[in-house]
Amino acid sequence: MAKTRKVILIIVVVFFIYAVFQSPEKAADIVTNIWGVIVDGFNAIRRFFNSLLNR
């Protein structure tokens, strides 16, 4: 199982490097969008717990 994870991780990293060299602007947009989704998710969880605790 660990070997499979390592192979998948290597494939993802190689693809990311390839994408950056082929189109740096698109790669930056993808990273920005992913970061935005993560931040929005954390904010939603924070709002949920705040509303839960304030009742």
Residue with the two structure tokens 């998948």 = 8
pLDDT tens string 1-55: 889 999 999 999 998 889 888 998 988 898 899 999 999 999 999 999 999 999 7
Question: What global pTM score does this model have?
Answer: 0.60
Which two structure tokens, joined as six digits, stand for 46?
């924070």
Q: In sequence order, what are the residues at sequence separation of 6 or more whose Cβ sits closer than 8 angstroms to the Cβ of residue 26? A: 19
Query: 20 and 27 in contact (C-beta within 8 Å)?
Result: yes
Query: 48 and 55 in contact (C-beta within 8 Å)?
Result: no
User: Would you list the domain boundaries of the chain?
Assistant: 2-53
Query: 30 and 16 in contact (C-beta within 8 Å)?
Result: no
Q: What is the pLDDT of residue 34?
A: 94
Q: What is the pLDDT of residue 36?
A: 96
Q: What is the pLDDT of residue 27?
A: 83
